[in-house]
Amino acid sequence: MIVSLGAALISLASGVTANDRLQIGTLSFAPCELSQPKSATTTAAWCVPFEVPENRADPNGRKIALKLAVIGSDIAATQDDPIVFLAGGPGQAATETWPSIAPALQSARRYRHVVLLDQRGTGGSNALRCKASDAAADADFDPAVAGAQARRCLDEIKAKADPRYYTTTDAVEDLEAVRVALGGVKFNLVGVSYGTRVAQQYMARHPDGVRSAVLDGVAPNELIFGGEFARNLDEALKGRFALCANDKACAARFGDVYKALYETREKYRAAPVPVTIRDPQNFETKQRRFDHNLLDGLVRLFAYAPESAALLPLVIREAAAGNTAPIVAQAEYVVKDLSDGMTAGMGLSVVCAEDADLIVDAPQDKSLILGETMVAAIRAQCEAWPKGKRPDDFHRPIKSDLPVLILSGQFDPVTPPRYGDAVLKGLSKGRHLVAPGQGHNVIGRGCMPRLVKRFIEKLETDQLDAGCIAELGPTPFFLDFNGAAP
């Protein structure tokens, strides 16, 4: 049977049958369960396959089915403008990432549905998933390895997809097609990390389809992905380590952490060492090579969140002392967790079409953590990867009169607060909040969920009372493996 929105949401609480349908616009949704990698936990939702041309210039060519889901609001009196969650990466799928973002939007979705569309090339939308690349350690930036992985990845997916048509621009038109099919509703966009690029591109090309936008960890339109990775990480590390220098216990225990990091890095650049570890998931014995590249990748990953960043002084000291096995094992676990949620092929389609040819060499970054290694790896991958088209105005700074709330972490190692300041300049109804002591993506931290709810409900920017974010702060540094000082 076909049920109304209100009735459908009531039945979500009481149990639905396979015959129940949720009709929104021209789309008829059926009950479904959303899963996530490495978890038996599922989320009740409404799903419908959404077919689009792979190449819109050839509507009679190959079609791809996109995975589209709706998370119902908590009450029957639902507002007509849904929340649309835009996942990060590039390479994450909205339906798979939803459980991690759901707590942050729990209050905001009380009166609104949440629309989840796996971006083409991810999740259930003809994922460009490659065993060769998705299993690769993010900590390994060797250009030769990266280029070979890209070529193997292309061989794996070329029978089912043309990578040229999996760009942000293609995804924006998919999202607009969904909006039209839903009855021409207006979206409240919530973009996280790379999802902020999708949000800005959608706002620029379909402003009439947007009611509001929340940009968490914003990447400005004018940003060239990859070009500032080394600088941004170095600035975040300096900020973090300055906190240690100003803390008596931390300073006494670790001294100059920034200096120690670079000394340790040079030690393993000159003399890499073999490491035997137990795989953190299956406990099999593995051999790895601990060198400066692996240390660089580990430091980068740990810098993303305040909890893992609090371990960095201890991790660096242990590495300097030669105790690398626990560090490598931790890196293996973190990398596998990330790679399970990423789709490497889709990420290459985005970066190679939109950014790679615009990256400018930065000799001043050569001596930094990451240095030129990530840029070299990106270039090596994109030499092998087919490239889609980039609109001439793709990197034009956003200018909009729409209400926009920008969120940044004080020590974000990839999208620092200055990016939020840059985007704010083009927004007449914008507000930028910087969360003290935090890293990448802060929408779920402290009182942020309450502020996001208030913003989406009232469209307040200057009037939004955000004083509560002052209660946030960094996680105390681990002085040893038992934690911080009591």
- Of 401, 281, 259, 278, whose CA–CA distance to 328 is shortest? 278
* Nearest-angstrom CA–CA distance, 328 and 298: 8
Bridging pattern class, strands 63-71 and 114-117: antiparallel
With a CB cutoff of 8 Å and minimum separation 6, the contacts of 472 are 435, 436, 437, 438, 442, 445, 446
pLDDT tens, position by position, 402-456: 999 999 999 999 999 999 999 999 999 999 999 999 999 999 999 999 999 999 9
Provide the angle, in degrees to the nearest 10, between the axes of the packed helices 292-302 and 257-270. Answer: 150
**124-131 average pLDDT score:** 92
* Nearest-angstrom CA–CA distance, 421 and 30: 42
Q: What is the pLDDT of residue 337?
A: 62
Distances from the Cα of 371 to the Cα of 127, 258, 267, angstroms: 31, 15, 16
**Residue 68 φ/ψ, nearest 5 degrees:** -125, 130
* Nearest-angstrom CA–CA distance, 87 and 175: 13
Instruction: Say which CATH superfamily domain 2-129+165-220+400-471 falls into.
Output: Alpha/Beta hydrolase fold, catalytic domain (3.40.50.1820)
pLDDT tens, position by position, 130-172: 875 543 444 456 788 889 999 999 999 999 999 999 999 999 9
* Nearest-angstrom CA–CA distance, 216 and 405: 8
Higher-pLDDT residue of 305, 4? 305
Q: pTM value? A: 0.92
Domain boundaries, the chain: 2-129+165-220+400-471
Bridging pattern class, strands 63-71 and 285-290: unpaired
β-bridge mates for residue 430, sequence order = 404
Buried b (16+ CB within 10 A) or exposed e, 256-288: ebbebbeebbebbeeeeeebebeebeeeeeeeb
Q: What is the pLDDT of residue 297?
A: 85
pLDDT band at 473; cut points 50, 70, 90: very high
- What mean pLDDT value characterizes the chain? 89
**103-116 average pLDDT score:** 95
Asked whether residue 7 carries a pLDDT value surpassing 50, the answer given is: no
Peptide bond into 413 cis (omega under 30): no
Asked whether residue 82 carries a pLDDT value surpassing 80, the answer given is: yes
